[in-house]
């Protein structure tokens, strides 16, 4: 049955601890995007790096999330999550200053790998803390607030970063990124967080055993396995789409850079709209898993429409729908992981999910271009949409029994 009294975003932000966490995320995410755009600008115009070299920036960041994530989750479940987040923030603040002295692409890759290694601990720790400071009825709105903030910052950052790079040079963005991590760490340190029970097993042999327990939990839990599979597939499809959309606009739509920029903004606008709609929808939908399924279906339909009807108007509508579907997919999925996973396993499960999602995104970035060269961009879009639609169909069938069992148990 539907959870009564879902908190609105305003009510979630009225919780002092979550408001501090949200503000910390606003500032640090803004700093991250400033640094990212400054790096891309510096590599493109000062280092004259190739497209492949620039793509490796994203791969460098994804690699530790994929490889270190599962191990990081094991320790996050044992350590104090607030202290873990603060140490991660301050470490990343120091590492971000390394971008100031980079002189070659491989220097940037090393810095991004190091920053990502500490992010591998920060992200699952945030998933552990959020259900401690926000009630179950507020998790959806809390995740929506963070997701919407990320989209707004992402839309505003390129222009600000471009102005800063032109006025004060790329280093100004790197110093601001470092300062944003310090601010985030101080805000999180000032939060009052209820204590959670200490992990029962602290021995080394249980660390080795627990390393695979997050993945095992995901694969054996019918609802969670569908949720993680959906968000991984959605990430793969959106990453493949995003890496090819510029060439699609140029070679298939025969349009210019203005349309390309507009499509990117429309995906962000769609995600904002989806974030606004997700909480009211949750009051009418019996299970959050149905929202995840609706999101994956919407993403599949949007990409299919863009591929089947190569027209600028359809591309505009499809990109907005893709963004809205992504929000309907991501926000309920995060709320489900935080609300349904046992407290003592949240770090492991969230980090394992983060690893699977990072692998999906990395595969898309590495191979989408090769697949498009061999089979054509439209064929890659068709393949992505078919994958998403099949997952939606399988999810509808697979979720029927566990969701009916949950409703019977609740009754």
197 and 217, same structural domain? Answer: no
What average pLDDT does this structure show over 251-272? 82
- 325/394: higher pLDDT: 325
286 and 143, same structural domain? Answer: no
CA 110, 46, 157, 253 dihedral sign is negative
Separation of alpha carbons 47 and 120, rounded Å: 29
Mean pLDDT of the chain: 84
221 and 170, same structural domain? Answer: no
pLDDT > 70: percent of the chain: 91
Separation of alpha carbons 391 and 229, rounded Å: 8
Separation of alpha carbons 6 and 167, rounded Å: 46
258 and 150, same structural domain? Answer: no
Is the pLDDT score of 196 beyond 70? Answer: no
353 and 240, same structural domain? Answer: yes
- C-alpha distances (whole Å) from 371 to each of 240, 246, 322, 361, 374 are 10, 15, 21, 15, 5
**Could you read off the pLDDT of 381-394 as tens digits, one per residue?**
999 899 899 888 88
Separation of alpha carbons 332 and 338, rounded Å: 10
128 and 83, same structural domain? Answer: yes
339 and 288, same structural domain? Answer: yes
CA 118, 121, 64, 173 dihedral sign is negative
Distance of CA 271 to the CA centre of its chain: 12
21 and 95, same structural domain? Answer: yes
Provide the residue count of the chain. 411
What average pLDDT does this structure show over 282-289? 75
199 and 217, same structural domain? Answer: no
As for how many domains the chain has, the answer is 2
Separation of alpha carbons 111 and 411, rounded Å: 53
Report the pLDDT value the prediction gives residue 3, as an integer from 0 to 100.
46
- Segments of 126-165 assigned E as strands: none
257 and 112, same structural domain? Answer: no
403 and 370, same structural domain? Answer: yes
Report the pLDDT value the prediction gives residue 197, as an integer from 0 to 100.
55
Tell me which residue of 149, 134, 133, 389 sits closest to 275, measured CA to CA: 149
Tell me which residue of 305, 186, 187, 197 sits closest to 241, measured CA to CA: 305
Domain end among 168, 184, 209:
209
For 370, counting Cβ atoms within 10 Å of its Cβ (0-12 exposed, 13-18 middle, 19+ buried), the class is: exposed
pLDDT > 90: percent of the chain: 29
pTM comes to 0.80
| CATH at residue 271 | 1.20.1250.20
Q: Which of 67-76, 148-157, 397-406 has the highest mean pLDDT?
A: 67-76
Report the pLDDT value the prediction gives residue 404, as an integer from 0 to 100.
53
Which structural domain, as residue segments, surrounds residue 201?
1-209
Residue 101 DSSP class: G
- 361/155: higher pLDDT: 361
Domain end among 188, 209, 230:
209
347 and 224, same structural domain? Answer: yes
Is the pLDDT score of 1 beyond 70? Answer: no
**Could you read off the pLDDT of 332-386 as tens digits, one per residue?**
888 888 878 887 788 888 888 888 888 888 888 888 878 888 888 899 999 989 9
pLDDT band at 24 (very low <50, low <70, confident <90, very high): very high
- Beta-carbon contacts of residue 246 (< 8 Å; ≥ 6 apart): 260
**38, 170 contact by CB (below 8 A):** yes
Phi, psi of 344 (to 5 degrees): -75, -5
Domain end among 209, 238, 255:
209
């Amino acid at each position: 049955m539907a959870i009564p009294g879902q908190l609105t975003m305003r009510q979630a932000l009225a919780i002092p601890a979550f408001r501090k966490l949200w503000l910390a995320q606003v500032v640090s995410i803004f700093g991250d995007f400033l640094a990212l755009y400054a790096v891309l600008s510096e590599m493109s115009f000062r280092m004259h790096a190739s497209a492949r070299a620039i793509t490796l920036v994203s791969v460098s960041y994804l690699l530790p999330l994929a490889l270190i994530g599962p191990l990081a989750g094991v320790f996050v479940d044992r350590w104090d999550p607030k202290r873990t987040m603060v140490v991660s923030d301050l470490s990343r603040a120091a590492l971000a200053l390394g971008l100031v002295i980079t002189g070659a692409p491989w220097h940037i890759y090393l810095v991004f790998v190091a920053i990502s290694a500490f992010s591998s601990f920060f992200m699952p720790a945030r998933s552990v803390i959020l259900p401690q400071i926000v009630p179950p009825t507020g998790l959806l709105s809390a995740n929506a607030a963070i997701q919407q903030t990320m989209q707004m910052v992402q839309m505003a950052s390129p222009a600000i970063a471009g102005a800063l790079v032109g006025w004060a040079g790329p280093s100004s963005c790197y110093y601001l990124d470092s300062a944003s991590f310090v601010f985030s760490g101080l805000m999180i340190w000032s939060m009052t967080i209820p204590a959670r029970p200490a992990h029962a097993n602290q021995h080394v042999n249980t660390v080795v055993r627990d390393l695979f327990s997050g993945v095992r939990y995901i694969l054996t839990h019918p609802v969670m396995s569908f949720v993680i599979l959906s968000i991984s597939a959605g990430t793969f499809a959106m990453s493949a789409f995003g890496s090819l959309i510029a060439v699609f606009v140029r070679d298939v739509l025969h349009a210019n850079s203005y349309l390309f920029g507009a499509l990117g903004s429309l995906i962000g606008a769609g995600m904002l709209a989806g974030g606004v709609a997700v909480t009211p929808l949750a009051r009418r939908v019996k299970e959050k898993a149905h929202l995840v399924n609706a999101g994956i279906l919407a993403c599949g339909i949007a990409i299919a429409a863009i591929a089947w009807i190569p027209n600028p108007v359809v591309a505009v509508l499809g990109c907005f729908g893709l963004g809205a579907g992504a929000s309907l997919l991501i926000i309920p999925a995060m709320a489900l992981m935080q609300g349904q996973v046992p407290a003592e396993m949240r770090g492991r499960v969230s980090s394992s999910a983060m690893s699977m999602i990072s692998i999906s995104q990395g595969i898309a970035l590495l191979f989408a271009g090769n697949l498009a060269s061999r089979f054509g961009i439209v064929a890659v879009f068709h393949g992505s949409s078919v994958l998403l639609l099949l997952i939606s169909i399988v999810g509808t069938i697979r979720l029927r029994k566990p969701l009916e069992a949950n409703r019977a148990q609740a009754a």
